[in-house]
Structure 1
């Protein structure tokens, strides 16, 4: 199992940040590994149980996972993605930080079968991806809400 955790501050109000991140389709905008992410059922409001088909690329190989929003709370979101060889859990907790939002993002991937043997060798690559999320996510949120949605400092 590999776990990566990052904490960052986003310059937008907590309810807005939670609403943006609750729609997992937005991972295309901020997750460096995501190639595409589409809701399983179009037109359904995002809520607990909503599912997305996610295609990611990792080390030159594409993989598909079906993600489900398993926890949808005012200050916490948890997504679980599964396929034949892995289970990926993305857990996000939020707290107000002045006019912005402090996000703690934890990603955990558990490999099954033979893929499990590669875990120790992949940690560095997942750490690099975590750093890239920290670099990309603030800009994606800013772009989504536009410059005038940012709180005055």
Structure 2
């Protein structure tokens, strides 16, 4: 079943094409491309296959376009608590990490005592990953002990 194509004004079409070409967020570019293809009369199923999404995602983009137009393209605010770490906390973490190798537990302890920020070790690990830090866990081997005993 072919859905009614979306009617776009020339200004809307130009804005959508500009978003597809130079938009910063890939999700926004993909949504704009969907709307352009819907305006050309392509089927929902064909668009979904071309973009690698489910047809319901394409239908949802069309419904949101009819409701809010260009405001339907950017991501909407998501739920969840704001980050407890500020940019000052992140720069302090970088200083500590740069000065000496520390474990997550030590970093959490320092944040709590020196900055008054209470976060869990897993939250800190996630934040460090976002900041680009990687680490390996220490491996304890019994081979060293055996070789000394022999």
Query: TM-score scaled to structure 1, two decimals?
Result: 0.24
Higher helix share: 2
Higher strand share: 1
Query: TM-score scaled to structure 2, two decimals?
Result: 0.24
Structure possessing the higher relative contact order (Cα contacts under 8 Å, 6 or more residues apart): 1
Higher Cα Rg, which structure: 2
